A and B are shown apart, each in its own frame.
Chain A
């Protein structure tokens, strides 16, 4: 029995090391100098850790780019923030209202519409990509932050609606009756009864939407243009576009910077993330 326990913890530790190794390599590489990277191994700790590569990744390296901007991630970080905040609130808000309506105000076709939305979550974004480009262009917001916010709301609403609708379905009917007898209409019932009840699911939806929007690449690549590049797109360009020898420490620092916001949200939110990730897995 004791050997079993040792084997159990042994296996778990091996798995944990395998999962953490790439993260460790990313952090330690970002703190090394290029000389050390050339002569050392990816597994070693940095001998003389420094944040030089982080600075280059954040502010850019003006010597390496041809005029214009210096190519750092700082501007695309701001772009990402400007996209995430409105897109997050709009998609979660719209999902909450739609989910509430579908779950509580039963009407003709509500189930059909929910099924249509559910299927919509599985549609590969490539299939509707070009018509979406035309629509956004006709609205005159292609290549701008409002355009990206709009496409994120369109792509996020199916998921947020599903989360809220499934949650509101579990609210006891008696509570709704009581609220209606007290004269609560559509909006008061939502605002004063349902929304306060849904705080945990609201948290889950916010965390996951934040993660999805921050981590998105395809929409940012397609709709961002030159001025609206989110951080993932900028990271991919940075890694792919260097001249001469690749600066792996800068690449890893840039990767770390891109991953930090969602990593922080994950580590701080813990259980909420775990609860929601299963429900939201379909979005991939």
Chain B
């Protein structure tokens, strides 16, 4: 592996030493390598170091051990945010997987105008979370939005004011989030369904097995890896979720729909609690690593198996 693997890339055999393309190749890697080493891993370490200090507005390197972590875990807002991450994560990932898979199955049934439906389902993906948040904030506006519109249709006791309710605002995040990301899950599931051996369908038709049972008992278990990928990708999105909560609820009412990513940014940029924010960021990173590492392992093993894309 360490050898120049391709025969074509061996130095020429004319005996003279000369500038080899290998050197140029090494030079070409410098910018990306600098970014990876310094801006990714170096900065992670830096953030960790800051989290061990009592830094507030500016970094001061007076170490206080794990005090910031103790403060963090005693912080009620942090726990609300972590709890919200769990609630939002389950609803968002669950919603995306269930609806994305259903849509993929519907499209996979050999329909006309497949391209049109696919384009529609993936349309929200091209918009930013800020745009999504602002649109849904308006739709869920208790005064003039959906609640008002349904009441005008005649159902006068209809209530949908979750966005202003402390105990419900976190659920509105999942609604807007699923709306935006369901198309991505659909596309991934659809690609998986298209990879299923057509002979399975032929055989099940010969045996007279109902379509829903084929999906449930045969196709779905075969799609394990796709489900795994979707789960990982959606968790990565959930844990970074910042824009959507800022635009949709602003973390409110109060801090009832706050998320860890917003907690961190708020403490670093606005509250002059650099050390505490860094501690939160590091805990967030550990959560991400815990969820992501099986996936990275899986990707790299696939890589060694020699499959390209």
- Which residues of A come within 8 Å of B, CB atoms? 8-9, 11-12, 15-16, 18-20, 22-23, 25-26, 29, 37-38, 41-43, 94-95, 97-98, 101-102, 104-108, 111, 113, 115-120, 122-132, 134-135, 153-154, 157-158, 161, 166-167, 169-170, 173, 176-181, 185-187, 189, 211, 214-218, 221-222, 232, 235-236, 239-240, 248, 251-252, 255, 258-259, 262-263, 265-267, 270, 273-274, 277-279, 281-282, 284
CB proximity to A under 8 Å, residues B112-143:
115, 117-131, 134-139, 141
- On chain B, the residues within 8 Å of A18 by CB distance are 179
Which of B69-77, B165-173, B274-282 lies at the binding interface?
B274-282
The reply on B7 being an interface residue by CB < 8 A is yes
CB–CB B128/A262 < 8 A: yes
CB–CB B236/A122 < 8 A: yes
Which listed residue, A37, A217, A240, touches B242 by the CB 8 Å rule? A217
Question: A146 → chain B, closest Cβ, in Å?
Answer: 16
Which listed residue, B43, B139, B148, touches A132 by the CB 8 Å rule? B43
- The chain A residue with its CB closest to the CB of B277 is A130
- The chain A residue with its CB closest to the CB of B241 is A284
Which listed residue, A43, A132, A235, touches B134 by the CB 8 Å rule? A235
Which listed residue, B21, B103, B127, touches A262 by the CB 8 Å rule? B127
CB–CB B127/A263 < 8 A: yes
Question: A266 → chain B, closest Cβ, in Å?
Answer: 4
Q: How many A-B residue pairs have CB under 8 A?
A: 297
A-B contacts, 30 listed (Cβ < 8 Å):
A8-B106, A12-B107, A12-B111, A19-B123, A19-B124, A23-B123, A101-B29, A107-B26, A111-B303, A115-B300, A116-B41, A119-B40, A124-B261, A126-B268, A127-B282, A128-B46, A129-B265, A170-B309, A176-B6, A178-B8, A187-B24, A215-B128, A217-B242, A235-B134, A255-B134, A255-B135, A258-B128, A262-B127, A265-B126, A279-B309
Contact bitstring B243-287, A, C-beta under 8 A = 1, else 0: 100110010000000000100110011000010011001101100
Interface size on B, residues (CB 8 A): 105
Which listed residue, A15, A116, A189, A217, touches B106 by the CB 8 Å rule? A15
- On chain A, the residues within 8 Å of B139 by CB distance are 22, 25, 42
CB proximity to A under 8 Å, residues B224-243:
233, 236-237, 239-240, 242-243
Which of B30-38, B60-68, B194-202, B215-223 lies at the binding interface?
B30-38
- On chain B, the residues within 8 Å of A278 by CB distance are 184, 187-188, 191
